[in-house]
Structure 1
Amino acid sequence: MPFVNIKTPEAALTSDQKAEIGHRVTEMLVEYFSEAARPHTMVLIEEVLDGGYYRADEPFSIPEAYRAR
């Protein structure tokens, strides 16, 4: 069973964008594993609390311009 875990900053994506990512990732995996993989493919999109992870030793907060509207 293909399993993909995507972590993204909280509020960076809309529900529609997350659904599109889930669909497109599934399509990509079906290309590699065949149509038989579709019903068993899991795409998990986890939202990480803003400031809940670090980049270059500094807490990361998503810039306002990149927040979902």
Structure 2
Amino acid sequence: MPFVNIKTPEAGLSAEQKSEIGHRVTELMVEYFSEAARPHTMVLIEEVKDGGYYRADELFTIPEGFRNA
């Protein structure tokens, strides 16, 4: 069973964007593993609270212009 875990900043993606990502990632897994993988493919999109991670040794917060939700 393919399992894809995507972490993204909280409120960085709309519900429609998450749905599209889920669909496109599933299609990618089917390309690699065959159509038999489709019903068993899990795509988990985790939203990380703003300020909950570091980038380049600095606390990261998403810029206001990138917030969709």
Report TM bin, short chain. over 0.9
TM-score after normalising by structure 2: 0.97
Determine the C-alpha separation between the residues in 2 that align with 1:64 and 1:57. 21
Within 5 Å, give how 1:7-46 maps onto structure 2. Answer: 7-46=7-46
The amino acid across from 1:68 in the alignment is N
Partner of 2:59: 59
TM-score after normalising by structure 1: 0.97
The amino acid across from 2:45 in the alignment is I
Equivalent residues, number: 69
Per-residue Cα deviation, 1:13-42 (whole angstroms, up to 9, x for no partner): 001100000000000110110000000000
Quote the RMSD (CA, aligned, Å). Answer: 0.7
What fraction of aligned residue pairs are identical, expressed as a percent?
A: 80
Deviation at 1:56, TM superposition (A): 1.1
Q: What 5-or-longer segments of structure 1 have no aligned partner?
A: none
Determine the C-alpha separation between the residues in 1 that align with 2:41 and 2:56. 33
